[in-house]
Amino acid sequence: MVRPTVHDIAKEAGVSLATVDRVLNARPGVREKTIAKVRKAVERLGYVRDTNAANLARQRQYNFAFVLPEGSSQFANALQDALQEAYSSQVADRTLIRVVRVPLQDPHAIVRTLRSLNVNRLDGLALMVPETPQVRDAVSRLKNSGVAVVTLASDLPNSRRDFFVGVDNVAAGRTAALLMGRFAQSAGEILPVTHSLRSRDSLERRLGFDEVISNEFRCLNVLPTVESYGDPERMTRVIERTVAQRKGLIGIYSMGSGNTALLDAIRNSGQIDKLTVLAHELTPTMRHALRENEVAAVIAQNVGHLTRSALRVLRNLCDNFPIFEAQERVRIEVILRENLP
């Protein structure tokens, strides 16, 4: 009982191999009746296409680019590492990946980069940048050139992007709130921090966080969000001032990047072991802070899943295949000191 091949189908349907091939690959030039015959034979024999052989023969090359934030972003570094790993394993076979890093705070530089991509040599693009009108336009241009576009981790909901790969950030914020509420041993104030609320992910997390806190943990009071705009010194100043002045402060919720500076500031305030600190993304900094009990929990998304999902979606978009949304839903992971991977 071996697996049937296209040859078996051809014999069973009483047609030639070429016709079977045309039917299986939905190429034109076959009558409806003949198509039905082949379909029946496929069903009767339980034929399943051998994807190994198909991929080998097809020799399809996917050219993808990943545009990620530049420099100090540990999360982006982790993503790039995951891509490298996908590349050297079989996950990314027949796909060429180019990673471009762009400065987060400079929308024009981002757009320049997006413009510089050679759309003739590009099948798909994965994008992790803040939402600005210029970026939306650039995405529109790429879509017009027939490039598949997915947003990664941070969505651009009003752009023409094809798909968003990443966690539901509202739910991530809700998860953070639930943890904050349950961990808190008394009433008090919570300070939300991020590099910028222009980043869609931060904004959505804040929404989710507020929702749960205001519905279920009335004794907690969420302060206005502190934005650092990627400036460590600004972060340090604001945190030190707030911690010193706000005597009712019991927790800090970091919704974006820049956690290294944030943690340093909290440490300097001398209050780190009195505060419940929650943050996102499992970077080396957060890993260390978890071990030291400085951070209560980290809400993370698995960068390996993220990259694999992005690649899968981009490939399917290129081939006009359907996307199985359930499979692409990235999980919200809760990392504590004891389940650090």
Question: What is the token pair recorded at 173?
Answer: 């914020």
42 in contact with DNA (CB under 7 A): no
Task: Indicate the length of the chain as a whole number.
Answer: 341
Q: Which of 28, 46, 322, 341 touches DNA by CB under 7 A?
A: 28
Beta strands 333-335 and 297-300 are: antiparallel
57 in contact with DNA (CB under 7 A): yes
Q: For a copy of itself, give the closer residue by CB, 174 or 195.
A: 174
User: Phi and psi of 114, rounded to 5°?
Assistant: -65, -35
Q: Are 133 and 258 in contact (CB under 8 A)?
A: no
**Spatial distance between the Cα atoms of 93 and 41, rounded to a whole number of angstroms:** 32
Q: For DNA, give the closer residue by CB, 59 or 245.
A: 59
User: Phi and psi of 129, rounded to 5°?
Assistant: -145, 160
User: Phi and psi of 285, rounded to 5°?
Assistant: -60, -45
For residues 247, 231, 133 and 111, what is the CA-based torsion angle, rounded to 10 degrees? -160
81 binds, among DNA, a copy of itself, none (CB under 5 to 8 A by kind): none
Q: For a copy of itself, give the closer residue by CB, 84 or 132.
A: 84
Q: For DNA, give the closer residue by CB, 15 or 142.
A: 15
7 in contact with DNA (CB under 7 A): yes
88 binds, among DNA, a copy of itself, none (CB under 5 to 8 A by kind): a copy of itself
Whole-number CA gyration radius for the chain: 25
Interface with a copy of itself by CB under 8 A: which range of 114-122, 127-135, 237-245, 333-341?
Answer: 333-341
Cα angle 133-195-268, degrees, rounded to a multiple of 5: 170
One-character DSSP codes across 70-135: -TT-HHHHHHHHHHHHHHHSGGGTTEEEEEEEE-TT-HHHHHHHHHHS-GGG-SEEEE-----HHH
Q: Which of 17, 109, 187, 336 touches DNA by CB under 7 A?
A: 17
Number of CB atoms found within 10 A of residue 26's CB: 9
Contact set for a copy of itself, span 200-239 (CB under 8 A) = 208, 212
Min dist CB 43 to DNA, Å, is: 15
User: Phi and psi of 329, rounded to 5°?
Assistant: -75, 115
29 binds, among a copy of itself, DNA, none (CB under 5 to 8 A by kind): DNA
Q: Which of 17, 36, 244, 336 touches a copy of itself by CB under 8 A?
A: 336
58 in contact with DNA (CB under 7 A): yes
Give the total of residues touching DNA (CB under 7 A). 32
323 in contact with a copy of itself (CB under 8 A): no
Q: Which of 12, 40, 42, 59 touches DNA by CB under 7 A?
A: 59
Burial of 301 (0-12, 13-18, 19+ CB in 10 A): buried
127 in contact with a copy of itself (CB under 8 A): no
48 in contact with a copy of itself (CB under 8 A): yes
Min dist CB 36 to DNA, Å, is: 10
Beta-bridge mates of residue 67: 100, 127
25 binds, among DNA, a copy of itself, none (CB under 5 to 8 A by kind): DNA
237 in contact with DNA (CB under 7 A): no
Beta-bridge mates of residue 64: 97, 124
**Sites of contact with a copy of itself (CB under 8 A):** 1, 48, 50-53, 55-56, 88, 90, 93, 96, 171-172, 174-175, 177-179, 182-183, 185, 208, 212, 296, 299, 329, 331-339, 341
**Sites of contact with DNA (CB under 7 A):** 2-3, 5-7, 14-19, 21-22, 24-25, 28-31, 33-35, 47, 49-50, 53-54, 56-60
